[in-house]
Amino acid sequence: MQNKTITELAQGLRSGEFSSVELTSAFLGRIRQYSSLNAYITITEELALQQAKTADARLATGNAELLTGIPMAQKDIFCTEGVKTTCGSKMLDNFIAPYNATVVDKFNSAGAVMLGKLNMDEFAMGSSNETSYYGAVKNPWDVNTVPGGSSGGSAAAVAARLAVCATGTDTGGSIRQPAALCGITGLKPTYGRVSRYGMIAYASSLDQGGPMTRSAEDAAIMLQTMAGFDPKDSTSVDVPVPDYKSGLANSLEGLSIGLPKEFFGEGLNSDVAATLEAAINEYRKLGAKVTEISMPSLKLAIPAYYVIAPAECSANLSRFDGVRFGYRCENPADLTDLYTRSRGEAFGKEVKRRILMGTYALSAGYYDAYYIKAQKIRRLISEDFKKALSEVDVIMGPVTPSTAFGLGEKMDNPIEMYLSDIYTIAINLAGVPAMSVPAGFAKGLPVGLQIIGNYFAEAKLLNIAHQYQQVTDWHTYIPSHFE
């Protein structure tokens, strides 16, 4: 059962081939069996079985949606009422969310079954899922390598079939990069397409939730549930949500694809480049036209991002002060001691690094020199995307410069770690949608192809990915130890 898609499982549930309780129990068994991957922080077994019984009753009435009874999991950044929500941090190790994130409510309304909360880099700050207070997640393709981050638990769980699908969040590549390294499909929607209400903030102008699945068709089903305007979220955009599944079969004849020369130069591993070239050739066979384009501002994305994101992180994480909720140090001498020790003891090294970077960039005398300049660069990057996407339908390129790297390999070199996101960060700065699609393997490890579209063009991206997956089978591969 674990190798079936959402559509196949939905058909099995409706036909009575198996029940949601049986399906959920099978996945809970796999989670226990492969606990060494460390993909889950919290397993909500009792809740999951309750939801599965409710789903079975709903299925019996014929009033079910595609996700009704489907076992999925939530990244541990989405607040879930009555369930521990940690953001992978000691700071929130004792935090029981008093309400649901809008995304969680939407899945509950659809009748989905939540298996648990997935491991992640602390407060979504990391590219390897090694900064989590609960330990590193392992890549199912090679347990000595990282799964990517920050949504590494989500990617590993889907790849190892420990959940049918999962939610992720993407601030600078945190859905696409782990999706690429774990050989699954991951979609970062347009900024504002999915509600951020109840999604604990890292960088508010960049964060966006999205689906992490085996296939583009499954991603379309998940996004159908996740997307939509939310009056509780001031950054949510009131744009109609199309039927994402209905356009999956559209022909790609005449599709124009742009390949930024900045994406295919120095720094891209030659094996990854060869794998991507083979994938792009498949699109040529499907009738697409491929041209080289230039986006000169892309080289400025990393320095701009690592001013803007830490600045927003510095502001957002100021609420974690040991007073209202979360970790509180023991026997503080005074208020200053309470603040400094609570934050010093509960935040990890990478989170502290980014808070300090952001506070510095926002300080008097440096705000204009760093933060304002970074925002001006952000506008240049957005203009580059607008210009490119007025000339071509979509942009394609790598998701990561290499395949999954070894656990611990980059932990002592933050600059090298930050460069892991060199091909993904610009997309968040511009706010456009993008996805990672399994495109093959390089020396036994998965490679992802990145597809970038115009604002609110998720349906087009899903169609392009789905058509590729009709003529290739990379998305069906399973790590050998998890079949």
pLDDT at 1: 83
pLDDT at 483: 81
Residue 262 counted as domain residue: no
Residue 41 counted as domain residue: yes
**pLDDT single digits (tens) 389-424:** 999 999 999 999 999 999 999 999 988 999 889 999
Torsion sign over Cα 142, 146, 148, 153? positive
Residue 460 counted as domain residue: yes
Residue 343 counted as domain residue: no
Distance, in Å, from the CA atom of 120 to the CA atom of 140, rounded to the nearest integer, reads 15
Q: Which one is catalytic: 150, 215, 314, 402?
A: 150
Residues above pLDDT 90, as percent of the chain: 96
In order of 2, 74, 122, 321, 322, the CA distances from 29 in angstroms are: 11, 18, 27, 39, 37
In the block, tokens 């410069």 appear at 401
- Amino acid identity at 171: T
Whether pLDDT at 455 is above 90 = yes
For residue 216, give both structure tokens. 């583009």
In the block, tokens 């001498």 appear at 333
Contact 353, 306 (CB under 8 A): no
**pLDDT single digits (tens) 367-384:** 999 999 999 999 999 999
Angle at 117 between CA 479 and CA 469, to 5 degrees: 40
**pLDDT single digits (tens) 314-341:** 999 999 999 999 999 999 999 999 999 9
DSSP codes, 262-290: GGSSTTS-HHHHHHHHHHHHHHHHTT-EE
Which residues, including other chains, have CB under 8 Å from residue 473's CB and lie 6 or more apart? none
Mean model confidence pLDDT for the chain: 97
Q: Which one is catalytic: 128, 151, 174, 236?
A: 174
Pairing of strands 394-398, 434-442: unpaired
Contact 184, 148 (CB under 8 A): no
Q: What is the CATH number of the domain that holds 232?
A: 3.90.1300.10
pLDDT band at 127 (very low <50, low <70, confident <90, very high): very high
The beta strand positions in 361-456, using DSSP E, are: 394-398, 434-442, 445-452
Contact 74, 117 (CB under 8 A): yes
Helix, coil or strand: residue 21:
helix
**pLDDT single digits (tens) 274-296:** 999 999 999 999 999 999 999 99
In order of 146, 291, 293, 451, 463, the CA distances from 260 in angstroms are: 27, 9, 5, 12, 21
Contact 55, 111 (CB under 8 A): yes
pLDDT at 438: 98
Residue 280 counted as domain residue: no
Residue 376 counted as domain residue: no
**What's the domain range around 157?**
6-255+427-482
DSSP codes, 104-146: HHHHHHHT-EEEEEE--SGGG--SSS-S-TT----BTTBTTB-
**Total Cβ atoms within 10 A of residue 100:** 20
For residue 428, give both structure tokens. 């968040």
Mean pLDDT of 2-15: 95
Residue of 428, 175, 186 whose CA lies nearest to 309 = 428
Is there a catalytic annotation at residue 75? yes
Distance, in Å, from the CA atom of 155 to the CA atom of 193, rounded to the nearest integer, reads 21
In order of 11, 75, 118, 145, the CA distances from 1 in angstroms are: 12, 23, 21, 27
In order of 17, 251, 276, the CA distances from 281 in angstroms are: 40, 16, 9
In the block, tokens 């599709």 appear at 255
Q: Which one is catalytic: 19, 20, 75, 215?
A: 75
> Please, where are the H alpha helices in 317-366?
335-346, 349-362
Return the DSSP state at 367.
I
Residue of 210, 136, 216 whose CA lies nearest to 184 = 216
Residue 374 counted as domain residue: no
Whether pLDDT at 365 is above 90 = no
Is there a catalytic annotation at residue 232? no
In order of 57, 87, 178, 391, the CA distances from 170 in angstroms are: 35, 14, 10, 26
Helix, coil or strand: residue 458:
helix
**pLDDT single digits (tens) 46-78:** 999 999 999 999 999 999 999 999 999 999 999
**pLDDT single digits (tens) 172-224:** 999 999 999 999 999 999 999 999 999 999 999 999 999 999 999 999 999 99
Global pTM value: 0.96
Which DSSP helix (H) or strand (E) runs through 209?
A: strand 208-213
pLDDT at 419: 87
Structural domain total, the chain: 1
Residue 471 counted as domain residue: yes
Distance, in Å, from the CA atom of 194 to the CA atom of 244, rounded to the nearest integer, reads 14
pLDDT band at 266 (very low <50, low <70, confident <90, very high): confident
Angle of helix 102-110 relative to helix 216-226, nearest 10 degrees, comes to: 110
In order of 253, 314, 364, 368, the CA distances from 200 in angstroms are: 42, 14, 28, 28
